[in-house]
Structure 1
Amino acid sequence: MTGLDRLLAAVAAIAGGLGVAASAAAAHTSGGETLKTAAQFLLFHAPAVLALTGFSAAGLVRGALARLAAAALLLGLGLFSGDLALRALAGTPLFPMAAPSGGVVLMAGWLLAAVTVLVPARR
């Protein structure tokens, strides 16, 4: 496993942990529905990034493509969930259009994930 794979996997694990924390906070705060959505996105995408880094480390896919897909998912996740969480907890956006931009990056990340598993690994 490369250092970049480890970094991406660690950030994914942190995203999963933040998803759990945001879920708990959503149950106890106003704006809970928005925070719940952020939590769900964190929890749904963290395992996907872990899978991509695992596939890369195992040589099952082209590492560069898997890392690019994982990075796109994490970037999109940070923008989308970060904006929703900040709005719910602080009442202010991350920046204008952060959530929609993050959503587009997430969709691109999923498309890259599809390409990653369709392109044969080098043997």
Structure 2
Amino acid sequence: MRRGLAACGAFACALAVGLAAYASHGVEGDARARLSLAAAFAFAHGLALATLAPRCERRLGLVAACALFAGMLLFSGSLAGAALWQWPTTFAPFGGTLLIAGWCAMAIDLARR
């Protein structure tokens, strides 16, 4: 599970680079802003997952990593979907809440080590 989350994090970084490139060259206006933000969040959280997930030794750390992954998918995915296919951003707030909860849980897990 830990290696899978780390691999998904690395893959999210790769997708984020592609999203950022497309945001810079393929769209304009609000779509550019949304794709750029989605790419930034996907890259940052993907990198965090790639580095932190393999080091999660306890259940709380693993739950935190899963929350970060789910939050990243919902937040960045919602923004990218809105920019690319005019989907509503309904899931972005839930994704953001999961990201906040995941980071809080990760902080607690790291402090307990």
Normalised TM-score (structure 2)? 0.91
Q: 2:10 and 2:111 mapped to 1: Cα distance?
A: 25
Gaps spanning 5+ residues in structure 2: where?
none
Cross-structure match for 2:14: 17
**Structure whose CA Rg is larger:** 1
Cross-structure match for 1:83: 78
Moved over 6 A (4+): none
Gaps spanning 5+ residues in structure 1: where?
57-61
Report 1:1-123 matches (<5 A): 4-28=1-25, 29-30=27-28, 31-56=31-56, 62-93=57-88, 97-120=90-113
Question: Over aligned residues, Cα RMSD in angstroms?
Answer: 1.2
Q: 2:23 and 2:104 mapped to 1: Cα distance?
A: 30
Give identity over the alignment, percent.
38
Please identify which structure carries the higher helix content: 2
Q: 1:107 and 1:36 mapped to 2: Cα distance?
A: 20
How many equivalent pairs are there?
110
C-alpha distance after superposition, 1:35-59 (max 9, x if no partner) = 0000000111112112222323xxx
State the Cα distance separating 1:10 from its structure 2 match.
1.0
Q: 1:86 and 1:97 mapped to 2: Cα distance?
A: 10
Residue 20 of structure 1 aligns to which amino acid in structure 2? V
